[in-house]
Amino acid sequence: MISADSAAGTVTLSRSADALLPGDYSLWFSGGTGHARLGEVLGETDVSVTRRVIAVDFGDLAKARRGRLSGWFYLGPEEFGHPFTEVRIETELGPSPAWLVPAEKSSGRWVIQVHGRAVSREETLRAIPVFRDAGYTSLLISYRNDPDAPASLDGRYGLGDTEWHDVEAALRFAVDNGATDVVLMGWSMGGATVLQAVTRSELAGVVRGIVLDSPVVDWVTALRYQGELRNLPNPVRSAVLVLIGKNWARRLTGQLAPIDLPRLNFVRRSGELHLPILLMHSDDDGFVPATASRALAEARPDIVTYEAFTVAAHTKLWNYDRDRWNTAIARWLTRVVG
């Protein structure tokens, strides 16, 4: 539940871990028809949390009674005041929309942003400023089964095992438009997707580095954890992992093809990775545990720069501490990618 005090410029939320997170966040309210931006926590009780309202973008917050917090914060690239265009990337399923934000001076350096599962490219807007300051053109893509992108034949997410084809199409678009040095950045499932792209795409040679925010490095670890959150018995969790990987179970899962979970495990496949990686994860992610990220960093300290956050939760590292997040990326781009 939420209640706003327009005169005080505050909103009071039901107490929860998300409501208590330090930093700046979006608040979607009234069934997604309203959007506000919230700042710091001003007070709390046993049942509620009061935060500062930075702005109300649309909707009547005073009448809102329900809402949800999000880490997106920005709604579109126009908010940064830089030139941008909406482009169409030709994928194997059809044209897929993306935002293209050119660098101030063309250099051939591009970053391709890949959002997480069941969200959209708005999630990645937070990364535009730090990459543009470093001289990068930003391409923020959508991929199969996004609301504004082509659907796959089964309408199911492939956990990165299929979506990497759309990242490959984005790489082709970037190269065709002057990219010579590309950084791939993946958020949550987008992390699993870019790891598939750099190990399976014929265009991987143009990639110079990878940035991962709260990534899925091993889906077995992530799915077991999410099963625990839902209080599923261990035999049920194990059965699910078996089913999604079997061709005969397609009628049960709705998938056109089974998902190759071992191929999605980059702790075991760490020896196949050769590009520098900046990996940022919160120890109390709450959705995708950081254990696999830490295991990858321990297995490949020669290529992985690991930034361990705490408190920040899942894909909210920028919101929690944007200065640290931006600095980590800027320093890595300068020292590692060059």
Structure confidence by residue, pLDDT tens digits, 214-271: 999 999 998 888 888 788 788 777 877 777 877 876 777 788 788 889 999 999 999 9
| Among 113, 110, 119, residue whose Cα is nearest residue 186 | 113
- My answer on whether 49 and 87 are in the same domain is no
- My answer on whether 148 and 218 are in the same domain is yes
Choosing from 42, 70, 98, the residue where a domain stops is 70
- My answer on whether 121 and 238 are in the same domain is yes
- My answer on whether 312 and 262 are in the same domain is yes
- My answer on whether 13 and 149 are in the same domain is no
Question: Taking the model in full, what pTM does it have?
Answer: 0.95
The helix (H) or strand (E) run that includes residue 110 is strand 109-114
Residue 313 CB burial class (10 angstroms; 0-12, 13-18, ≥19): buried
pLDDT tens, position by position, 276-326: 999 999 999 999 999 999 999 999 999 999 999 999 999 999 999 999 999
Choosing from 27, 50, 70, the residue where a domain stops is 70
- My answer on whether 124 and 8 are in the same domain is no
- My answer on whether 118 and 58 are in the same domain is no
Q: What is the DSSP letter of 75?
A: -
Question: The domain containing residue 289 runs over which residues?
Answer: 77-337
Query: What domain count does the chain have?
Result: 2
CA torsion 174-334-124-34 (nearest 10°) is -140
